[in-house]
Homo-oligomer: A and B are copies of this chain.
């Protein structure tokens, strides 16, 4: 399994988009990756916007980005909360600096905006935050998946299949 040595952070907060959180986690596990769910608190049950639960393995403050190979940011309303934590923004800046894969879908772009890593990058997102992405300096494209170096963006749940194909391939090669 080509991802068996890879460790990935999956950020979580309440009101995540259920499939946008879970499809990527299960998909990477299929190829052997270890994926840790990381939220404000450890051992907390977070509930998706439709109601699917997810229990965090660790708290934001307790993980070291340098121990991980990639990071996933889900959509839904969770990004509105996730972007408020300085330790999360620091994690994203670490991943960006070391060119480790960053996956973001739907409203996840808000978190990358707050980490100021959208500037000059080709990105996509839900059309709902297109203006925010462009104001943050992103070159927004209306495509199912956009890959700019180590940053993989997607728009919405039906884009999950091409999104995760690109992300898994990138992680395997990194």
Contacts and interface: CB of A to CB of B under 8 A. Distances in A.
Interface of A: 18-19, 22-23, 26-27, 29-30, 48, 50-53, 160-162, 164-165
Q: Indicate how many identical chains form the complex.
A: 2
23 contacts: A18-B19, A18-B50, A18-B51, A18-B52, A19-B19, A19-B22, A19-B26, A19-B52, A23-B23, A23-B26, A27-B27, A27-B30, A29-B161, A30-B160, A30-B161, A30-B164, A30-B165, A50-B50, A50-B51, A50-B52, A50-B53, A51-B51, A52-B52
A19 B52 CA distance: 8
A33 to B, nearest CB: 10
Contacts of A52: 18-19, 50-52
Nearest to A19: B22
A52 B157 CA distance: 11
Contacts of A161: 26-27, 29-30
Nearest to A162: B30
Nearest to A33: B161
Nearest to A48: B50
Nearest to A30: B161
A19 B21 CA distance: 11
